[in-house]
């Protein structure tokens, strides 16, 4: 990602990548004249940032959050109009509720601002969790839950403070 620290669109893109736990290289165009030359080359002589180059060689210039979500394959809206269970937030309680709702066969939607592991994924250790008498690391726990949730529930990741209605429309 080519950008500058003072650019609000660059900060927004960095925040979105951070929320989604996407690794990226940050190239400060203010500190590196060669990088600004590249930005101008890619943008027909214009200095438009952020300019984001992906591993597949594609480039997004000053993308919206929706553009970034689409590029990363993140669904910002639900595909169904009706759900029996809607869970907002994917901390330990939301994760548990989602697992049990999916196991019981409910049409389940969970909404999370950041990547699907939410607060659970950044929690160092979960204690008093069924099946883990000595506790379990949040990242480890989320990795054991990913497969069944991906197959049997719908995940909507919101890249900001949008209302619930936006997720369901």
Distance between CA atoms of 126 and 39, rounded to whole angstroms?
Answer: 44
Instruction: State residue 3's pLDDT score.
Output: 95
User: Lowest-confidence range among 77-81, 83-87, 147-151?
Assistant: 147-151
Q: What does the DSSP 8-state code read for residue 156?
A: E
CATH tag for 2-72 (out of 3.30.1330.10, 3.40.30.10, 3.40.50.1820, 3.20.10.10)? 3.40.30.10
Instruction: State residue 161's pLDDT score.
Output: 38
Q: Which residues of 94-117 are buried (b: 16+ CB within 10 A; e: fewer)?
A: bbebbbebbeeeeebbbbbbbbbb
Fold match between 2-72 and 85-168?
no
- What are the boundaries of each domain within the chain? 2-72, 85-168
Structure tokens at 151: 């197959």
> Could you tell me if 109 and 153 are in contact, meaning their C-beta atoms sit under 8 angstroms apart?
yes
| pLDDT band with cut points at 50, 70 and 90 for residue 9 | very high
Q: Is the pLDDT of residue 119 over 90?
A: no
Provide the whole-model pTM: 0.62
pLDDT in tens, 10-67: 999 998 888 777 889 999 999 988 999 999 999 999 999 999 999 999 999 999 988 9
pLDDT in tens, 98-111: 888 888 888 888 78
Domain spanning 85-168 has what CATH number? 3.50.50.60
Phi, psi of 45 (to 5 degrees): 90, -5
| pLDDT band with cut points at 50, 70 and 90 for residue 73 | confident
Distance between CA atoms of 154 and 78, rounded to whole angstroms?
Answer: 7
């Amino acid at each position: 990602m080519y950008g500058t620290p003072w650019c609000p669109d660059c900060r927004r893109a960095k925040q979105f990548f951070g929320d989604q736990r996407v690794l990226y290289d940050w190239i400060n165009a203010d500190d590196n004249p060669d990088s600004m030359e590249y930005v101008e080359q890619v943008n027909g002589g214009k200095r438009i940032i952020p300019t984001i180059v992906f591993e597949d060689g594609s480039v997004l210039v000053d993308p919206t959050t929706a553009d970034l979500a689409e590029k990363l394959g993140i669904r910002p809206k639900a595909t169904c109009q009706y759900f029996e269970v809607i869970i907002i937030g994917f901390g330990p309680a939301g994760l548990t509720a989602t697992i049990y709702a999916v196991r019981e066969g409910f049409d389940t939607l969970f909404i999370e601002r950041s990547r699907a592991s939410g607060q659970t994924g950044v929690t160092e250790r979960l204690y008093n969790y069924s099946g883990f008498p000595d506790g379990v690391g949040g990242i480890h726990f989320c990795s054991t839950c990913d497969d069944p949730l991906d197959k049997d529930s719908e995940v909507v990741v919101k890249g900001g403070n949008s209302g619930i209605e936006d997720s369901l429309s």
